[in-house]
Structures are given as structure tokens and as C-alpha cells.
């Protein structure tokens, strides 16, 4: 077994490539998500080490100190930062010419040939669901015999082995908690709407929804929700509770944890007695009776992808939701005391200046406690990416999703429409944030929350500084 190093590479200060690669850029407030997609194969390779450079504050020089100690380096790569990840690979290869280097993640799964040939330092790309692929690489199995691999042949040209089948026995995967305990510090991970310190898990992969913009279901997870049994999830949470008594909240990071209502109710009942609040991603169509079960068993926050408040846009992106159902769900959550964090996207197909106003009004009406506003990101491998090419929506280089110079990690407005320019989309984000948060009622709500908890007081004050800095400095990408 090769001595293996799993690396979430250093990047821009404040850059968040986590969240399942749903939104790769600097956020309005700094956050760090657990590198679960690397922790899973790390848990399957004996003697491995996981390094999360952004969360732990490690520089490239810090990471390179490990180069000579390992035979295999696995780097988690993203579309917006792939050039940077190649430089990391090249630095490791220079420090240890014998180290084998592979790239994993949704981006390299989508464009494996381009990813492999981008740098001679990259020895292979593990496509799609890569857990067992990496295990076989670490075992020393010949590349040609490993499913789901792209590597250089003797002639230097890319060679693709057959695709690896999706994992359906999710219970066969080991828990990631022991890797977290061994290699990570929970204090390094924080999200604005989750209690600190928190801990995140994936209990399943894939998503039954067909949203045209969402990266992972279209590239790695698949359009079917493959989940671990409720009993396995309950056991993992119990184990994590014992291993990490300092953790104040658990977060289930599945694309849509609530896709299987019977399963999520069983999990809730199984962990409710542990006394630790939990949160998850959710679709805005959970029936009230299920919400009541979840709330009674520790649910604190639902992270909801609202995306837009305009039915036509929801239809365009195949969200599969009706505005009236979303409003009823949101009202149920408010009445039951479930905190909502809403995510919205500006610049989806059909967007105009008027629909942005309508979505803002909708956001104020459903009134999540907190929200995130991003710009439509047409990642390679998504239906939105293909639509943008076919319709000429890309304003500039179709590979440009983030500015690496000047703006230092901030997302750019990649799309432009006849009735809505990329500049208007970009400016719309800051205007949306200000119009939502700078209201007397919302300010009062936040102040009241701060007065109830000294730790929350300190967090919100720090986040306020970061938020205003975000508004002030994000304009730089548009000037570059």
C-alpha cells in the first residue's frame, strides 16, 4: 500500500471550495466546510494522512514539508482554481520527483483529458465517484486495470479505462469520524448559520432533482439518491458524539438529505435523544408532519435552495417546485421554530432586472434568518454550461468563473443576456444583500439573536466586518 497524502490545497485567503463544490469562491463571510470527499477515501487507505490547508491556515511551503514522506498525493481540484492546483502538483513533483500525483473532483471528472494534460506533474485523474479508484491506485494496481481512471499512455496521450459503476452499498464505506479526529481540528470549521464548532457528514450521494445548474449530481453523485441505512447514520452520529464532545451541532451535507422522508424521520428519532442540534440541506417541499417530527428530534436549521422567487425561472432550471408550495413550507418552518438559511442565484436563464426585484421581494416574504446570494456559475459538465455555449451567454472566456488577480478569489458574473448584462448581475448581488439585511425588522432580529448568546454576539460582529469588507472589495474583479 502506497503511503498516501490527501490534500485540500492552499488557496486564496477566505476562498471556500467546500460545500460540495456548489459555490467555489470567496463568500460574504468566511466559512470552512469539512473536506468530506477527501476524508472518505482517506478512511479507506491505511496509513494515509489528510491535510486541509485552507482550514488549517497551511501555506504551500508548509505542505511541501510532507512531500518526501509520501508516495501518493491526491489533490481535490475545482474548476475555478485548477491552474492553481496544477502549480501545487508541480511544486510537490519538484520536491519529490518520485511521488505519484492524482487529481479528483467534479471538474476533472468532467474534463479528464484537459485536466491530465494541463500539467506533466499530474500522473492521473480519477473520474466520477473516485473512492475505490483511489484505493486501487494506492494498492499499486496497474493503471490500465483500474476502472474510472485517465492516465498517460506510453505515447504520452490520454488513456481512459472504463467508467467505474456507482456505489450503491453506501454502508460499506467506513465512517469519516476517525479521520477527522486524527487529522482535523473541529475548531477550524465554521459556517455563519451553524453553531460552532460543528461537524459535517455525507450520509448519501446523488439527488433526484434535475436542476440544470447543480454540479455534483450531474458529474459525480448522479440523479439517484444513494444513501446509507438510517441505522448506520445513527451509529455514526453516536460515535461522533463520543469522539467529539465539543461539537455543538451536526450538519448532514447530502445534496438533499430530506429526499427520503421515511428515512430522515427514522434518523431524527434515532439521534434526537443525544441532545445535540442538527441541520441539513433540504428542498422546500417537506410536508409539515415531517417537519414536526424533525423539529421534535433536534432539527435546528434547514439550508434551502430557493434560487429564485419567479416561477418561470424555476421552470427554466427544472427546479421541480411551485412558488405556493415553497411559501407554505417556509411558513411552516417559521411557525415550528425551524431556522432557515436560504440560497439564491442571480443570472439564471430568464433573469431580467425585473425578476431580480421579484426575487428580492420573495426573499423578504419567506424571510429566512440568513441568506446567501451568488451568481449563476455555469460549471463544465452541467446543463447550464451547455445552454450557455449554445446560446452565446458567456460574456468572456467560458472557463472563467473566478478572478485570480485583483479580486483574489471572488466570483465573476460569467453570463450575460440580451436583457441583463453581466455587470448588472454582478451589481445585483450587493444590492440584494443590502436590501434584504438593511431593514429595521431584520436588523432587530439579528440584534435580538446576538443579545441571547455572547458567543453569537462575537460571531455576528466579526461576520459584520467581513460582510462590509466583502461588499467593498468584491468590485475589483469587474475592474480587472
**Consecutive H or E run containing 341:** strand 339-346
Sheet holding 278-282, edge to edge: 198-201, 249-252, 278-282, 299-307, 339-346, 370-375
Q: Given phi > 0 = left and psi -120 to 50 = alpha, else beta, which region is 20? A: left
Write down the pLDDT at residue 408.
56
**Consecutive H or E run containing 426:** helix 422-437
49: β partners: 5
Write down the pLDDT at residue 277.
97
3-class SS of residue 392:
coil
Write down the pLDDT at residue 253.
92
- Residue ranges and CATH numbers for the domains of the chain are 4-160 (3.40.50.280), 191-438 (3.20.20.70)
Which segments in the chain show pLDDT lower than 70? Answer: 12-29, 396-410, 463, 466, 470-480
Write down the pLDDT at residue 21.
44
Write down the pLDDT at residue 461.
74
Write down the pLDDT at residue 240.
96
Q: What is the CA radius of gyration of the chain?
A: 22
Write down the pLDDT at residue 3.
98
Query: What is this structure's pTM?
Result: 0.91
In contact, 41 and 55? CB cutoff 8 Å: no
In contact, 97 and 67? CB cutoff 8 Å: no
CA count, 13 A, side-chain hemisphere, 461:
8
**Consecutive H or E run containing 318:** none
**Gap between the Cα atoms of 162 and 326, Å rounded:** 41
- Write the secondary structure of 19-71 as one string of H (helix), E (strand) and C (coil): HHHCCCEECCCCCECCCHHHHHHHHHCCCCEEEEHHHHCCCHHHHHCCHHHCC
Looking at residue 145, what DSSP letter applies?
A: G
Q: Minimal CA–CA distance to 437: which of 403, 471, 474, 392?
A: 471
3-class SS of residue 268:
helix
CA dihedral of 303, 309, 314, 315, whole degrees rounded to 10: 150
59-105 pLDDT per residue, tens: 999 999 999 999 999 999 988 788 889 999 999 999 999 999 999 99
307-335 pLDDT per residue, tens: 999 999 999 999 999 999 999 999 999 99
Amino acid at each position: 500500500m502506497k503511503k498516501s497524502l490527501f490534500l485540500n490545497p492552499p488557496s486564496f485567503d477566505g476562498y471556500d471550495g467546500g460545500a460540495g463544490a456548489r459555490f467555489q469562491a470567496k463568500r460574504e463571510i468566511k466559512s470552512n466546510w469539512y473536506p468530506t470527499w477527501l476524508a472518505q477515501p482517506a478512511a479507506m487507505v491505511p496509513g494515509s494522512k489528510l491535510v486541509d490547508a485552507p482550514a488549517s491556515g497551511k501555506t504551500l511551503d508548509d505542505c511541501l514539508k510532507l512531500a518526501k514522506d509520501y508516495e501518493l498525493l491526491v489533490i481535490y481540484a475545482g474548476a475555478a482554481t485548477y491552474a492553481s492546483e496544477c502549480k501545487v502538483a508541480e511544486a510537490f513533483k519538484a520536491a519529490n520527483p518520485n511521488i505519484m500525483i492524482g487529481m479528483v473532483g467534479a471538474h476533472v471528472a468532467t474534463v479528464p483529458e484537459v485536466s491530465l494534460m494541463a500539467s506533466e506533474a499530474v500522473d492521473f485523474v480519477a473520474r466520477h465517484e473516485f473512492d475505490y479508484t483511489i484505493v486501487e491506485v494506492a494498492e499499486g494496481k496497474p493503471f490500465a486495470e483500474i476502472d474510472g481512471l485517465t492516465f498517460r499512455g506510453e505515447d504520452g496521450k490520454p488513456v481512459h479505462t472504463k467508467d467505474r459503476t456507482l456505489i450503491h452499498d453506501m454502508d460499506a464505506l467506513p465512517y469519516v469520524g476517525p479521520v477527522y479526529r486524527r487529522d482535523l481540528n473541529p475548531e477550524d470549521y465554521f459556517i455563519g448559520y451553524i453553531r460552532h464548532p460543528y461537524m459535517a457528514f455525507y450520509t448519501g450521494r446523488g439527488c433526484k432533482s434535475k436542476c440544470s445548474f447543480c454540479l455534483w449530481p450531474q458529474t459525480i453523485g448522479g440523479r439517484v439518491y444513494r444513501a446509507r441505512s438510517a441505522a448506520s447514520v445513527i451509529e455514526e452520529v453516536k460515535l461522533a458524539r463520543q469522539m467529539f464532545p465539543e461539537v455543538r451541532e451536526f450538519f448532514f451535507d447530502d445534496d438533499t438529505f430530506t429526499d427520503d422522508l421515511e428515512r430522515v424521520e427514522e434518523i431524527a428519532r434515532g439521534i434526537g435523544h443525544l441532545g445535540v442540534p442538527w441541520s441539513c440541506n433540504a428542498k422546500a417541499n417537506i410536508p409539515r408532519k415531517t417537519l414536526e417530527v424533525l423539529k421534535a428530534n433536534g432539527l435546528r436549521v434547514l439550508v434551502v435552495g430557493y434560487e429564485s422567487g419567479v416561477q418561470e425561472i424555476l421552470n427554466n432550471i427544472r427546479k421541480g417546485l411551485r412558488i405556493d408550495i415553497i411559501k407554505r413550507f417556509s411558513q411552516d418552518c417559521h411557525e415550528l421554530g425551524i431556522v432557515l438559511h436560504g440560497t439564491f442565484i442571480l443570472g439564471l436563464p430568464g433573469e431580467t432586472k425585473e425578476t431580480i426585484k421579484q426575487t428580492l421581494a420573495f426573499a423578504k416574504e419567506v424571510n429566512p434568518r440568513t441568506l446567501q446570494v451568488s451568481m449563476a456559475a455555469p460549471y463544465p459538465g452541467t446543463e447550464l454550461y451547455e445552454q450557455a455555449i449554445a446560446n452565446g451567454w458567456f460574456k468572456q472566456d467560458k472557463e472563467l468563473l473566478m478572478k485570480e488577480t485583483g479580486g483574489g478569489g471572488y466570483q465573476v458574473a460569467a453570463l450575460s443576456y440580451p436583457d441583463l448584462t453581466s455587470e448588472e448581475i454582478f451589481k445585483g448581488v450587493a444590492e440584494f444583500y443590502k436590501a434584504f439585511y438593511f431593514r429595521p425588522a431584520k436588523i432587530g432580529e439579528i440584534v435580538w439573536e446576538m443579545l441571547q448568546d455572547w458567543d453569537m454576539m462575537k460571531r455576528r460582529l466579526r461576520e459584520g466586518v467581513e460582510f462590509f469588507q466583502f461588499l467593498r472589495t468584491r468590485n475589483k474583479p469587474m475592474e480587472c
